[in-house]
A and B are shown apart, each in its own frame.
Chain A
Amino acid sequence: MPKAVKGALLQCDPPQMAMVRKIDRESQNAYIIEEIDDHTCLVKENKVEEIKARVKELMDAAMGVDDDDNDDKDSDLD
């Protein structure tokens, strides 16, 4: 018997999915309804913004804060 589950489909690349899973594990499965594969999973619709923000936070921490400060300095030489 087919089933329909309400939620939001989250699509991203495998590294980000790893982060999503990590966050989900650490907060007692507050976000993910169903893990599908390395690119997709179903998350609770009302938690979408929250998980996005948390992944972004984790990413910024992992990649170091804005290292492209020099980017804005425009010179005639480049």
Chain B
Amino acid sequence: MADTTLHSWEYLETLPGTQFYRLYRSPASALAIFRKRLTSLAKSFVMMLLYMPAPLPVKQLELLVKDSSRGEREYAIDLLHRYHIFKDVTYSGVKAYALTPDFARSLRRALTGAGDTRSFGKVATHVPGDQKGTITQLDEYAQQRWEGILGYMVGSSSILLETPSTERQAAMQPSLGVIELLKAGHLIELSGTYSRGQSAKITKEGFAFVLQDINTQIWALLFLYVDNAEVFEMDKVDVLSFLFFISSLELGLAYSTTPLDDTQQRCLSDLVAFGIVYQPMRDDGTPVDYFYPTRLATTLTSDSSTALSTTNTTIGTSLSTSSSSSPTSANTGATKGFIVVETNYRLYAYTSSPLQIALLSLFVNLRSRHPNLVTGKMSKSSVQRAIRAGITADQIISYLTSHAHPQMRRHAQAEQSRNSDHARVVPILPATILDQIHLWQLERDRMTTTPGFLLKDFPNHADYEAPCRYADEIGVLVWKNDKKRMFFVNRIEGVRAFMAERRANAQA
């Protein structure tokens, strides 16, 4: 699993164990954590233990993994502990692992479809035929809402956007709740007074946010929501398990709201504002008693990259072509890239979407604008301006790469096949551009800091070597110096346990 620095998921790991046990009481949550957060090896371990009547001795589990893959094994076990799925027990005199009972029960239920109807929703049966939402409609709805939120964040900050699309921006203005949430998460800052109208200004974190892929963005926003749940007198765990519940529903089906409790009803109305669920309105303005999950919801906990990329393309479509309101351009080459970058730092973007143009203007000096094309040039000052605003070189590069024009991809492919050395991957962007963006960043940002713990004063090399290697295996090692016998980790729990155990073994 590629760890796309989801701060949000790390937030989840900070919850105390008891909260996890409550969360795991719902089958949907157990399944969601299982699908989304575990590595393949960790999943295999869980599946192996799921129907075992007795705990599995540590020694036996170790036998299942080749010695050459020790790192993966340690990482998987650490992960399972962090999510309170594994617990250490002593079974007939030896150390053994067992699944925590709540998790095991819920996952078994999820797999066999047992339990009450509340676990995976109740399909609404009484939807009038002529009001059935189609998947296309749902996609469109989700897309409008989501684009509205991003557009609000970026559009409001940009210098470029006075003219063409003021009306459309206003039409997609996100709800007050969403704006509050963005503000609470420091993604935007509001200035001005209520009476004279407020204007939003995007922050560093906001910049980083808008350049992420959609799934990451949604989760970031949802975790913000969870974090602020207590302000609205809702329970964190209830909200989380409701989110996991929503994510396990099926796209294109209507679900009844009757089995939902008060907290869940409230959540639901907030999720409507994000475009994660769709709830049609009656004529008198009250919501009907059924709702549809949109594609944003159903791929929330998906672990398959294809499903995720479908979200990115279907929802992201209008973000990359001109707009959702002109049907011709939405169909033609909808999901294709549109940016051409030349080796002389010139950039041509075939788009007229205000959101895309605003994004580009973050790190490109835009020079001219045509009906479906903007041109500009990247320079040291424009890139460093972006870096000062908190955008990293890698974010710029990944943005440019993922939106590269098909012509650039073809070019890179041709280059690749001409190349005798097949192991070397030819990047889509020109190599000079890649290097230069990194160099510009280095020039500005030569210092990195990582919070964590420094371990030092090891009496001999063996005592240093073992925990250091262990830290590396579970992926928490940041820096080490063999000569000084010091190393630095960003999480200490696992290493501390390892060292205590080692000491105990040495004394025995």
On A, residues with C-beta under 8 Å from B are 1-13, 16, 34, 36-37, 40, 42-43, 45, 48, 52, 55, 66, 68-69, 71-72, 74, 78
Instruction: Using A4-B454, A36-B481 as known contacts, say yes or no to A43 and B377 having CB atoms under 8 A apart.
Output: no
Q: Which residues of chain A are within 8 angstroms of B367 by Cβ–Cβ distance?
A: 74
Instruction: Using A68-B381, A74-B377 as known contacts, say yes or no to A4 and B496 having CB atoms under 8 A apart.
Output: yes
A12 near B448: Cβ-Cβ < 8 Å: yes
Segment of B141-149, B324-332, B455-463 engaged in the interface with chain A: B455-463
Q: Could you say which of A3, A4, A13, A42 has the most chain B C-beta atoms within 10 Å of its C-beta? A: A4
Instruction: Tell me the nearest residue of chain A to B450, going by C-beta.
Output: A9
Instruction: Tell me the nearest residue of chain A to B484, going by C-beta.
Output: A36
A71 near B379: Cβ-Cβ < 8 Å: yes
Shortest Cβ distance from residue A35 to the other chain B in the assembled complex, whole angstroms: 11
B478 near A52: Cβ-Cβ < 8 Å: no
B452 near A2: Cβ-Cβ < 8 Å: no
Q: With A and B bound together, what is the CA distance between A10 and B488 in angstroms?
A: 11
A9 near B457: Cβ-Cβ < 8 Å: no
Shortest Cβ distance from residue B403 to the other chain A in the assembled complex, whole angstroms: 22
Q: Which residues of chain B are within 8 angstroms of A43 by Cβ–Cβ distance?
A: 449
B456 near A3: Cβ-Cβ < 8 Å: yes
B449 near A3: Cβ-Cβ < 8 Å: no
Q: With A and B bound together, what is the CA distance between A12 and B365 in angstroms?
A: 30
B453 near A68: Cβ-Cβ < 8 Å: no
Q: Could you say which of A9, A16, A45 has the most chain B C-beta atoms within 10 Å of its C-beta? A: A9
A2 near B458: Cβ-Cβ < 8 Å: yes
Verify if B401 is at the interface (C-beta below 8 Å from A).
no
Shortest Cβ distance from residue A6 to the other chain B in the assembled complex, whole angstroms: 5
Choose from A3, A16, A40 the contact partner of B479 (Cβ within 8 Å).
A40
B450 near A37: Cβ-Cβ < 8 Å: no
6 new A-B pairs (CB below 8 Å) besides A5-B453, A9-B478, A74-B379? Answer: A2-B456, A4-B455, A9-B454, A42-B488, A71-B379, A72-B365
A68 near B380: Cβ-Cβ < 8 Å: yes
19 contacts between A and B (CB under 8 A): A1-B459, A2-B455, A2-B457, A2-B458, A3-B455, A5-B454, A6-B453, A7-B454, A8-B451, A9-B450, A9-B479, A9-B488, A12-B447, A16-B447, A34-B456, A48-B449, A69-B381, A71-B380, A74-B377
Instruction: Tell me the nearest residue of chain A to B499, going by C-beta.
Output: A2
Q: Which residues of chain B are within 8 angstroms of A9 by Cβ–Cβ distance?
A: 449-450, 452, 454, 478-479, 488
Q: With A and B bound together, what is the CA distance between A12 and B377 in angstroms?
A: 30
Q: With A and B bound together, what is the CA distance between A74 and B478 in angstroms?
A: 42
Q: With A and B bound together, what is the CA distance between A12 and B460 in angstroms?
A: 28
Q: When A and B form their complex, which 6 residue pairs have the shortest distance between CB atoms, in order from nearest? A: A12-B447, A9-B488, A5-B454, A8-B451, A71-B381, A8-B449
Choose from B447, B452, B467 the contact partner of A55 (Cβ within 8 Å).
B447
Q: With A and B bound together, what is the CA distance between A67 and B443 in angstroms?
A: 14
Verify if B374 is at the interface (C-beta below 8 Å from A).
no
Shortest Cβ distance from residue B199 to the other chain A in the assembled complex, whole angstroms: 25
Choose from A36, A45, A55 the contact partner of B486 (Cβ within 8 Å).
A36
Verify if B8 is at the interface (C-beta below 8 Å from A).
no
Shortest Cβ distance from residue A70 to the other chain B in the assembled complex, whole angstroms: 9
| CB-contacts of B283-309 with A (<8 A) | none
Choose from A6, A10, A42, A74 the contact partner of B365 (Cβ within 8 Å).
A74
Q: With A and B bound together, what is the CA distance between A34 and B479 in angstroms?
A: 15
Verify if B446 is at the interface (C-beta below 8 Å from A).
yes
Q: Which residues of chain B are within 8 angstroms of A5 by Cβ–Cβ distance?
A: 453-456
Verify if B12 is at the interface (C-beta below 8 Å from A).
no
Verify if B49 is at the interface (C-beta below 8 Å from A).
no
Q: Which residues of chain A are within 8 angstroms of B450 by Cβ–Cβ distance?
A: 8-9, 11
Instruction: Tell me the nearest residue of chain B to A68, going by C-beta.
Output: B381
Shortest Cβ distance from residue B429 to the other chain A in the assembled complex, whole angstroms: 20
Q: With A and B bound together, what is the CA distance between A52 and B448 in angstroms?
A: 9
B492 near A12: Cβ-Cβ < 8 Å: no
Shortest Cβ distance from residue B366 to the other chain A in the assembled complex, whole angstroms: 10
A34 near B454: Cβ-Cβ < 8 Å: yes
